Amino acid sequence: MGDVEHIPKELKLIDESGVRLDGRRYDELRPIRIEAGVLKKADGSAYIEWGNNKVLAAVYGPREAHPRHLQDPAKALVQCRYNMAPFSVTERKRPGPDRRSVEISKVISEAFASVVFVEQFPRTSVDIFIEVLQADAGTRCAGLTAASVALADAGIPMRDLVTSCASGKIGGVVALDLNKDEDNFGEADCPMAIVPRTGEIVLLQMDGHLTVDEFERAMDLSIVATKGIYELQRDALRRRYSAMAEQAMEAPPPPPIPSELPPPPDMPEDELPEVDDL
Ligand code: UDP
C-alpha cells in the first residue's frame, strides 16, 4: 500500500467541476501508444503504453500443441499467459502465477478463442504471452489490446481485432479508464473487450457494485472509447507493414533468372544406366 499512502482519506477522486485527480474529465482516456513488431524472435509482437501502464505482448503459432494430450483434433487451442513483472508495481510483486494472473489469462484466452479461426488449425496451439512491465490499473485491457495487435502481426487469421477498455465509478460518478488510485479508492471497475466490427462483447468483468443504469452508462463510455483504441491498433499495424514494405523495396534485387537453362553435361553412353538397373 506504499504508493497510496500519500492520498488523504477525504480526497475527492473527482471534483465539483468534473475534473479527476490526473486532470481528465469523466469520459477521457489516458494517453495510449501502440507499436507492432517490437520483438524479433516471436511470430508476432506489440508494445503498449496506456497511461502509466507498460505492457509487452508476444505471440507464437499456430504451432504443434504440447503436451500432446492437450491437442484438439478439431481446432487450435488459444493459450494466454498474463504475467506481472516483480518490478511492475511499487511493492515488489512475488514472481510467478497467482489466482489473479490465472484468472486474467483464462478470460483473455477465451476472448481470443472466439475471434481466431481455430478450426483452420487442428492440433495446434496459438500461444500469447502478456508481460506487464509497469502497472497502473487497467493492465488486462492494455494487455489484451496489445495481444490483439501481436496476433495480427503474427498473421493469425481472425474475424477482427479485439479491443478492450474499462469504465467504473469514482466519487459517485461513472468514469472511463480508471487509474490505480481511482481503482483503489473508487466504488467499481468494469473491464470489457469488444469485437469492434460486430459489436460482440468477448470479455466482461466487474469489481465492485454498479446499478443497472450505471452499468449501462459505463458500457456506453467503454464502447465509444474502444472505437478510438481500435483506430490506434490499426494504425500500429499499418505503420508496421509500411516499414516492412520499405525494407523489402530497399533490399537488393534477386539475381536474374537465366532465360535459357544451360545444356546438361555430356555423359558417356557406357555410363548411362540400363533400363533394367533402374
Ligand atoms: N496490483 C498490484 N499488485 C498486484 C496486483 C495488482 O499492485 O499483485 C495493482 C496494479 O497496479 C494493477 C492494479 O492493482 O494494475 C489493478 O489490478 P486489477 O486486479 O484491478 O487488474 P487491472 O486493472 O490491472 O486489469
Residue 132 sits in a domain whose CATH number is: 3.30.230.70
In a domain, 26, yes or no: yes
Which ligand 1 atom is at minimum distance from the Cα of 98?
Answer: 8
In a domain, 8, yes or no: no
Ligand 1 centroid distance, CA of 136 (Å):
7
Ligand 1 mutation target, pool 84, 101, 132, most atoms within 8 A of CB: 84
Residue 104 to residue 118: CA distance in whole angstroms? 21
From the number of C-beta atoms within 10 Å of its C-beta (0-12, 13-18, 19+), residue 12 rates as: middle
In a domain, 92, yes or no: yes
Q: Which three cell numbers stand for residue 61?
A: 503459432
In a domain, 248, yes or no: no
Lining residues, ligand 1, CB within 6 Å: 89, 93, 100, 135-140, 180, 183, 189
Residues 127, 62 contacting (CB under 8 angstroms): no
pLDDT, position 9: 58
In a domain, 268, yes or no: no
pLDDT, position 207: 97
Whole domain around residue 237: which residue ranges? 21-242
User: Going residue by residue through the chain (278 aa), what tens digit of pLDDT does each one get?
Assistant: 445 555 555 679 999 999 999 999 999 999 999 999 999 999 999 999 999 999 999 999 999 999 999 999 999 999 999 999 999 999 999 999 999 999 999 999 999 999 999 999 999 999 999 999 999 999 999 999 999 999 999 999 999 999 999 999 999 999 999 999 999 999 999 999 999 999 999 999 999 999 999 999 999 999 999 999 999 999 999 999 998 888 888 888 777 777 777 766 776 766 666 666 55
Residue with the nearest Cα to atom 14 of ligand 1?
Answer: 137
Ligand 1 centroid distance, CA of 61 (Å):
29
Q: What is the DSSP letter of 267?
A: -
In a domain, 67, yes or no: yes
pLDDT, position 215: 98
pLDDT, position 1: 46
Ligand 1 centroid distance, CA of 28 (Å):
20
Report the half-sphere exposure of 67 (CA within 13 A, side-chain side).
Answer: 1
Strands (DSSP E) found in the chain? 32-36, 44-50, 53-64, 77-84, 124-134, 163-170, 173-176, 188-195, 200-204, 207-208
Tally of structural domains, the chain: 1
Ligand 1 centroid distance, CA of 168 (Å):
15
Ligand 1 centroid distance, CA of 4 (Å):
13
Which ligand 1 atom is at minimum distance from the Cα of 104?
Answer: 25
Residue with the nearest Cα to atom 13 of ligand 1?
Answer: 137
Residues 218, 210 contacting (CB under 8 angstroms): yes
Residue 240: phi, psi to the nearest 5? -60, -45
- In sequence order, the 6+-apart residues with CB closer than 8 A to the CB of 160 are 115, 195, 196, 197, 198
pLDDT, position 3: 54
Residue 206, classed as helix, strand or coil, is: coil
In a domain, 237, yes or no: yes
In a domain, 168, yes or no: yes
Residues 201, 194 contacting (CB under 8 angstroms): yes
Which ligand 1 atom is at minimum distance from the Cα of 137?
Answer: 15
Helix, strand, coil abundance in the chain, percent, nearest 5: 30, 25, 40
Residue with the nearest Cα to atom 7 of ligand 1?
Answer: 89
Residues 236, 36 contacting (CB under 8 angstroms): yes
Residue 60 to residue 56: CA distance in whole angstroms? 14
